[in-house]
Amino acid sequence: MSPSPHIDEQPVLVLDAIAYDYVDRRRTVPVLRNLSVSVSPGERLALLGPSGSGKSTILDIASGLRRPTAGWGQLLGHDLTSSSPGDLANLRLNSVARIYQDFQLFPRLSALDNAAIVPRLKGMPKKQSRDLARDALNRVGMAHRLDHRPSQLSGGEQQRIAIARALVTEPLLLLADEPTGSLDADLRDEIVDLIIEVLPTAAIITVSHDPEVAARMSRTVRIERTA
């Protein structure tokens, strides 16, 4: 069980009446309408809903990668609608980790250097960054693949590297998009246990179609497709 958030703790993330429209040259497509949610330290939130309902877009907005069309948001005290792109990028680097559904690994880097990339970007010495990454990769069962590049690995192995990369940073907010989608049931359960163990006080938002993963979260928000 995750620690219960204290009443006096400020939420890590607040989204209030958020709307988002995708606009191209020919049309405007409504993706989100009137979404309100907050997540406190130690909370684990599952986002459920059909494909196309905007779940991944919520993760983009929560991390400041997209600005909402309407509404207001705050991440760790920073206004998601008015903060500069540079401030939001710095906030992501230092406080937010993301596990992408398509892994987003650097093809020319080894598993070890992929997992070490964020500490290196923060200015941590190479050896220290690699030591942290090596430990994280060992914990997700990838100690035997440290020198392999993504093209030499299966989808499940790439997913474990992406998870290790997120755990290395010890973020205040973890955004996970189908984090166990390429893993079998036994390994899925081990990885979810590991994430909870390593990040007991982080706020976690996960998108998953797996009811077993959703059941491990503190609460669930269902997102409906916008008509």
Q: Which domains does the chain have, with CATH numbers?
A: 13-222 (3.40.50.300)
Number of helices followed by number of strands (H, E) in the chain? 8, 9
How many C-beta atoms lie closer than 10 Å to residue 181's C-beta?
16
d(CA 43, CA 51): 24
Cross-strand bridge partners of residue 203: 173
Burial track 17-52 (b if 16+ CB lie within 10 A, e otherwise): ebbbeeeeeeeeeebbbebebbbbbbbbbbbbbeee
| Amino acid (1-letter code) at residue 23 | V
Assigned token pair, 43: 């909370």
**Could you list the pLDDT tens digit for every one of the 227 residues in the chain?**
344 444 447 899 999 999 999 888 788 889 999 999 999 999 999 999 888 889 999 999 999 999 999 999 999 999 999 999 999 999 999 999 999 989 999 999 999 999 999 999 999 999 999 999 999 999 999 999 999 999 999 999 999 999 999 999 889 999 999 888 888 888 889 999 999 999 999 999 999 888 888 899 999 999 988 76
Asked if 176 contacts 209 with a C-beta cutoff of 8 angstroms, the reply is no
Query: Residue for token digits 């609460």?
Result: 219
The phi, psi pair for 158, rounded to 5°, reads -65, -40
E strand map for 40-191 = 44-48, 70-75, 78-79, 96-99, 173-177
